[in-house]
């Protein structure tokens, strides 16, 4: 339900925006939502890779620790095997040399402990390494037979001690060996223990153990190297991810600064100065600028329309008194203004027209006079109605040298107005003209033109006169 609601809202807003966009210029640029989406996806991806890398590093570290433990245990057991074998060898050799039972006790103790066999069983090594120790044990077992033989020669025939292992007691001597004296037996035992065969077997045992140790060392070195290289690669990968995150963040911040922040600052400045916004930056800001420009233009058009309405005479459609007065004042205040003419026009006998033909006809006559004045004079000449039957015109570049331009046109208008028509009764215009000089004001120009107009009325109306001092 909630999901459907959001879909509806999104569709509605999208439709409204589409309707608005159809009246706007097409925008180009980066979308903020696309930028955010890219940042989000990039962050998620890099975070996932970082998490995966951390998991792999942890696994590698644990594997490396396990490998170190196995290596240490295996190496220790190998040395333990070798140490037990060497102890038994030394013990039996000292016993044969000295016939000291303490050495025999040491040998028997090591034999009963079975250290070699236990070491092989506990070694957490590969098959190759275990095989080397088994070969070492096989050679060591051959040594045992030699050692049993030597010990049995050193024991009296009638010896039945319980402490002597059965392996030694059950070793059978030859009849010849049984017939030998103790000193002869001891010498025979020396030849066995210190002989070439025993030493060869002993060397084989040590060589197999050393081979095992060397193989363990090489395997451990390879394992440590592989794990170390993998960890170093993972660390480098994590650094790359970190640098990528930093790069993405910096890139986004730079884009936001140049595409959003600076643009917004420029927009604020332009809006405060009531200027049009130049679409730039991300798509949303361009869209906003175009929207603002449309709204601002509509506002300005409405204001201008309202101002025009406020400045226009409601009946005739020409400028009213306030607009005309402001125009002349602004014009005459300009330092560059050095010429211009003010003409005041009065519709003769307008009261008689109203009384005779009615106010509707009077209004028609006023509209007609306004149309005639607009069409007769130039576009630059400012025509206005400043009173009931009173009009005024400002000529921006007129001087006394070309005043005939005004007089001739007023006379022409009067010739046409005097003749009655179907549209309007006979009428005429009286006009007074004053020329602008430096320091002149609207009030003084109006007063002079009014004086000239009064002179025309005194002389029978229907004419145009220039103000004279």
For the segment 265-301, what is each residue's pLDDT rounded down to a tens digit?
A: 888 888 888 888 888 888 888 888 888 888 877 777 6
Whether 107 contacts 52, CB under 8 Å? no
d(CA 331, CA 322): 14
Residue 392 has, within 13 A of its CA and on its CB side, a CA count of 27
Q: What's phi and psi for 465, nearest 5 deg? A: -135, 145
Instruction: Let me know the angle formed at the C-alpha of 59 by 57 and 62, rounded to the nearest 5 degrees.
Output: 110
Strand partners, 431: 345, 464
What pLDDT is stored for residue 392 in this prediction? 96
Q: Which residues pair with 342 in a beta bridge?
A: 394, 434
The Cα-based distances of 52 to 59, 229, 238, 264 in angstroms read 11, 17, 10, 41
Using alpha carbons, select from 448, 446, 314 the residue that is nearest to residue 392.
446
Beta bridge partners of 433: 343, 466
Helix, coil or strand: residue 156: coil
Q: Is 466 helix (H, G, I), strand (E, B) or coil?
A: strand
- Non-local (6+) Cβ contacts of 291 within 8 A are 20, 24
Q: Which is catalytic among the residues 389, 397, 408, 450?
A: 389
Distance from C-alpha of 436 to C-alpha of 348, rounded to nearest angstrom: 26
Do the beta carbons of residue 68 and residue 319 sit within 8 Å? no
CA distances from 228 to 62, 65, 73 (A): 12, 12, 21
Beta strands in 226-333 (DSSP E): none
**Token pair belonging to 96:** 């044969």
**Residue 325, CA distances (Å) to 68, 86, 437, 441, 447 in order:** 103, 129, 17, 10, 13
Specify the pLDDT at position 18.
42
Fold of 312-466: Alpha-Beta Plaits (3.30.70)
Residue 386 has a pLDDT of 93
Residue 329, beta-bridge partner list: none
Half-sphere exposure of 85 (CA within 13 A, CB side): 32
- Let me know: does 429 contact 393? Beta carbons within 8 Å: no
What DSSP state is assigned to residue 171?
A: P
Q: Could you tell me which of 152, 190, 158, 192 has the C-alpha nearest to residue 172?
A: 152
Q: Which of 381, 389, 436, 432 is nearest to 410 (CA)?
A: 432
- Smallest CA-to-CA distance from 213 within 114, 82, 122, 117 is with 82
Instruction: Output the CA–CA distances (angstroms, integers) from residue 239 to 47, 271, 355, in the order listed.
Output: 12, 46, 101
H/E element, 70: helix 32-98
Low-confidence ranges of the chain (pLDDT < 70): 1-29, 67, 70-71, 73-74, 116-129, 157-162, 220, 301-309
Cα 57 from Cα 61, distance rounded (Å): 6
| Cα–Cα separations (whole angstroms), residue 76 to 72, 81, 132, 133 | 6, 9, 15, 13
Q: Is 389 known to be catalytic?
A: yes
In what helix (H) or strand (E) does residue 304 lie, and over which residues does it extend?
helix 283-311
Q: Which residues pair with 346 in a beta bridge?
A: 390, 430
- Distance (Å, whole) CA 19 – CA 22: 5
C-alpha torsion angle, residues 452, 458, 463, 466 (rounded to 10): -20
Report the distance separating Cα 304 and Cα 285, nearest Å.
28
Distance CA 143, CA 201 (A): 6
| Confidence at residue 161, expressed as pLDDT on a 0 to 100 scale | 53
Q: What pLDDT, on a 0 to 100 scale, did the predictor assign at position 398?
A: 87
The DSSP annotation for 393-438 comes to EEETT--GGGTHHHHHHHHHHHHHHHS--SSS----EEEEEEE--T
Q: What percent of the chain clears pLDDT 70, i.e. is strictly above it?
A: 86
Return the domain boundaries, the chain: 51-233, 312-466
The first and second tokens of residue 163, run together, are 């402490």
Q: Record the pTM.
A: 0.43
């Amino acid at each position: 339900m909630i999901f459907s609601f959001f879909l509806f809202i999104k569709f509605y807003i999208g439709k409204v925006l589409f309707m608005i966009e159809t009246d706007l210029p097409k925008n180009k640029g980066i979308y903020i939502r696309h930028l955010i989406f890219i940042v989000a996806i990039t962050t998620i991806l890099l975070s996932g890779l970082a998490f995966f890398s951390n998991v792999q590093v942890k696994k590698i570290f644990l594997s490396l620790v396990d490998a170190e433990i196995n290596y240490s245990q295996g190496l220790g057991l190998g040395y333990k095997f070798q140490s037990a074998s060497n102890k038994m060898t030394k013990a039996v050799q000292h016993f044969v040399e000295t016939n000291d039972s303490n050495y025999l006790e040491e040998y028997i103790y090591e034999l009963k402990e079975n250290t070699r066999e236990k070491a092989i069983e506990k070694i957490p090594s590969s098959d190759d390494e275990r095989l080397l120790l088994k070969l070492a044990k096989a050679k060591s077992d051959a040594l045992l037979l030699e050692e049993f033989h030597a010990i049995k020669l050193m024991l009296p025939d009638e010896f039945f001690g319980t402490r002597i292992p059965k392996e030694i007691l059950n070793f059978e001597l030859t009849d010849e060996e049984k017939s030998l004296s103790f000193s002869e037996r001891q010498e025979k035992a020396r030849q066995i223990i210190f002989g070439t065969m025993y030493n060869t077997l002993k060397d084989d045992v040590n060589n197999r153990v050393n081979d095992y140790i060397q193989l363990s060392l090489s395997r451990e070195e390879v394992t440590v190297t592989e794990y170390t290289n993998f960890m170093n690669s993972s660390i480098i990968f994590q650094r790359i991810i970190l640098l990528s995150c930093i790069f993405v963040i910096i890139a986004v911040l730079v884009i936001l600064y140049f595409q959003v922040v600076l643009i917004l600052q420029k927009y604020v400045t332009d809006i405060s100065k009531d200027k049009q916004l130049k679409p730039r930056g991300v798509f949303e800001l361009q869209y906003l600028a175009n929207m603002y420009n449309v709204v601002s233009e509509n506002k300005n058009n409405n204001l201008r329309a309202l101002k025009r309405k406020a400045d226009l005479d409601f009946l005739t459609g020409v400028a009213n008194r306030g607009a005309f007065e402001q125009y002349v004042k602004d014009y005459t205040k300009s330092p560059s203004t050095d010429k211009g003419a003010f003409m005041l026009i009065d519709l003769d006998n307008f009261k008689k027209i109203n009384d005779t033909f009615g106010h509707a006809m009077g209004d028609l006559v006023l509209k007609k006079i306004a149309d005639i004045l607009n069409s007769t004079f130039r576009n630059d000449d400012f025509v206005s109605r400043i009173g009931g039957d009173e009009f005024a015109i400002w000529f921006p570049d007129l001087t006394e040298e070309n005043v005939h331009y005004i007089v001739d046109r007023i006379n022409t208008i009067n010739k046409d107005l005097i003749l009655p028509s179907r549209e309007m009764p006979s009428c005429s215009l009286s006009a007074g003209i004053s020329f602008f000089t430096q320091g002149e004001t609207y009030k003084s120009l109006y007063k002079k033109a009014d004086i000239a107009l009064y002179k025309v009325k005194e002389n029978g109306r229907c004419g145009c006169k220039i103000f004279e001092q």
